[in-house]
Amino acid sequence: MTHYTFADLVGDEKEFFAEYFNKKPLLRKGALKAPQDILSLRRLDELVQLDIIRPPYLRANLKGAGVPDQGFTRTITVQGTDLTDAIVPEKVYELFRAGATIVWSSLNHLDTSLRDFTRVISDRFGAKTDCVAFLTPAGKQGFSPHHDPVDLFIVQTEGTKRWRLWNPAEVRRGEAASYTAEQLGEPVIDVLLEPGDVLYLPYDTPHAAAAEELASVHLSIMIRPRMWKDLLKQTFEELVRDPEFNEFPFIGADRTAGTETLFTEKLRAVAGRLATLAPGPELDRLAELGRRMPGNSAGNTFRTTARLDALEPDTPMRRTAATVEFDTPDRGRVQLTVNGHRIAVPEPVAVSLAGLAVGEQMSAASVFPGVPAERATRTAQGLARIGLLEVAA
């Protein structure tokens, strides 16, 4: 699959964020050179045949109304367990031939190549993305004019579809809504999308789309941005993780004045932490949380864990960003708390770890100084398995 960048989608990134983002639609004709590599009719045929595809990952919309799941599902038995809503490909094909738009929701949950494609956007915005595919028969309109409470990147991959767009209202409420043609007037963009064309729609942008002489496949990549209230909530939740906020006060009608005084003290404590919070690192942390939301995340834990089995004494190890707490040494051992695990390590190991900055490296044999290399390497393996160290190479 061709690897695309965010600039492939929007062109000049500075111009995009200055002129279009959160303001008005953007049309990019011929932006992507191999759109069928992203999603094709052939791939949709393959997906509909997979027994793992179930509602709500697949839906059908016929004549402006959703088709009940029972109209295209059945019960199958998998290893002795009944699945009551497995897709029946033949019934989906019947619906498509009858003029239904077939909708695949959150395809980035099911297809790794589409997950990689949508991550180009989620990485740039630091926000959750979802990838929805629409297969519309020739000459049919799947949905009436409406707007969505999310930003959209529309990518045409096969066939053609005519899109009509209207500028968002001056006051946007971030809620879904439908329109009549009389309410909208003349569109600001009226274009036939062809394979490789890209549209950007800010949230609450009214739009309508219909396939013309060819069946249409397009992706709607939904960006689910967090509002300031969402970001502030995540910041607050991080600030109050401290044990001083773990007490359970009685706040009922018979509470004492002391409870109200303590509440004031807690509010001042939070306010003090907010006042000294460095905005840059915190926004970076919030962006990384967005990138790791369900549907966006990527991992290689199976591979990296398997590599630990072949660890050698001279293998370079690196300190991860995992938060670790060190207790006071007791009889030559130190209690560590990392990633929810509480373990005791020899004091020399704790000293090695405490002196190792995030990203800094040392060999596996150096983790436990003063013991044979084999034993030190086994210690490094254990620390890597709980996420405190990782192989640097």
What is the reported pLDDT for 142? 60
Phi, psi of 212 (to 5 degrees): -110, -120
Tokens found for residue 21: 């983002």
Please tell me the distance from the alpha carbon of residue 105 to that of residue 53, in angstroms, as a whole number.
11
The predicted structure's pLDDT at residue 309: 85
Residues in the chain: 393
Residue 111: alpha-carbon gap to chain centroid = 14
Sequence letter at residue 227? M
Residue 45, pLDDT score: 94
Distance CA 236, CA 149 (A): 25
What is the C-alpha to C-alpha distance for residues 128 and 6, in angstroms, rounded to an integer?
A: 15
Find, among 237, 224, 391, 255, the residue nearest to 320 by Cα. 391
pLDDT of res. 1: 64
Reported pTM:
0.76
Which pair of tokens denotes residue 22? 């959160």
Distance separating alpha carbons of residues 383 and 365, to the nearest angstrom: 13
- CA distances 383 to 323, 329, 376, 377, 380, Å, are 13, 18, 11, 10, 5
In this predicted structure, what is the pLDDT of residue 305?
78
Q: Is 252 helix (H, G, I), strand (E, B) or coil?
A: coil
Structural contact between residues 132 and 109, judged by C-beta atoms closer than 8 angstroms: no
- pLDDT, one tens digit for every residue, the chain (393 residues): 678 999 999 999 999 999 999 888 999 999 999 999 999 999 999 999 988 889 999 999 988 788 999 999 999 888 999 888 999 999 999 999 999 999 999 999 988 889 999 999 999 998 889 999 999 998 877 667 888 888 999 999 999 999 998 888 777 776 777 887 777 888 888 999 999 999 999 888 888 888 888 889 999 999 877 788 999 999 999 989 888 888 899 999 889 989 999 999 999 999 999 999 999 999 999 998 888 887 777 777 778 778 888 899 999 999 998 888 899 999 999 999 887 788 999 999 999 999 998 889 999 999 999 999 999 999 999 999 888 999 987
Query: Which domains does the chain possess?
Result: 6-224 (2.60.120.650), 301-391 (3.90.930.40)
Burial of 185 by CB count in 10 Å (0-12 exposed, 13-18 middle, 19+ buried)?
exposed
Scanning the structure block, which residue is given the tokens 């929805």? 132
Cα of 190 vs its chain's centroid, Å: 31
